[in-house]
Amino acid sequence: MSAIQFTGINHLALVSSDMARTVAFYRDVLGMPLTKTIELPGGGQHFFFDCGNGDSLAFFWFPHAPSAVPGVTAPANRPDRGDIVSAHGSMNHVAFAVAPGEVEGCVEALRSAGVDCTEVWNHDDSEYGVAREQHEGVFVRSVYFTDPDGISLEIAAWTRPLVADDVSHLPRTAADAIAAG
């Protein structure tokens, strides 16, 4: 089999508890155009938003979907407020790309719309993975917030090209988790 030639993400599908509220947030607050709506058999819906670069963020709405369980189906907290662990197979967060010079403006726009968000985080390879100020070791800058359903979202900007030295850790296993207790 030849290698698959990916061209990006077609769509990431999440689940909404209130599609009207989801549309109001993603279209009206974040400015993502609503591009496709589908009525599903059984009364559900599937809506698609353009999140840039030909990629889409989609939402299902199911009339009988179970409620989210913070700390299981998604992180219980934003990174600045505590533990961000979520269960195996869960979606931890969605990160939307912006240009490096746009991050601070995104914070202003989110706050102007009444969205509670973090300060800008400068991710680097230091002990805690975050620096107070931007420096040449910062590889991505980001801001974190949640949507009305508690879905963890991030606006992120790469600050430099990633190189071979950026891949320097061995992947851990389920056995490592057991050993860690």
Residue 29 pLDDT exceeds 70: yes
- Among residues 21, 3, 29, which one has the least CA distance to residue 96? 29
Written as six digits, the tokens of 14 are 């999440």
Question: Tell me: the pLDDT tens digits for 39-61?
Answer: 998 899 999 999 999 999 999 99
Domain interval for residue 14: 7-64
The one-letter amino acid at 117 = C
- Among residues 70, 18, 69, 75, which one has the least CA distance to residue 47? 18
Q: Is 125 helix (H, G, I), strand (E, B) or coil?
A: coil
In-domain check, residue 77:
no
pTM of the model: 0.89
In-domain check, residue 72:
no
Average pLDDT of 146-152? 95
In-domain check, residue 73:
no
Residue 135 pLDDT exceeds 90: yes
Question: Tell me: the pLDDT tens digits for 162-175?
Answer: 999 999 888 999 88
In-domain check, residue 168:
no
Residue 73 pLDDT exceeds 70: yes
Residue 177 pLDDT exceeds 90: no
> What are the beta bridge partners of residue 159?
none
> What are the beta bridge partners of residue 128?
none
In-domain check, residue 154:
yes
The Cβ-side half-sphere exposure at 53, using a 13 Å CA radius, reads 10
pLDDT for position 9: 87
Highest mean pLDDT among 3-7, 86-90, 157-161 belongs to 157-161
53 and 92 fall within a common domain? no
In-domain check, residue 124:
yes
pLDDT for position 1: 58
Exposed e or buried b per residue across 130-148, where buried means at least 16 C-beta atoms within 10 angstroms of its C-beta? ebeeeeeebbbbbbbbbbe
For residue 54, what is the domain's CATH number? 3.10.180.10
Length of the chain: 181
- Count Cβ atoms below 10 Å from residue 114 Cβ, excluding itself: 7
How many domains in the chain?
2
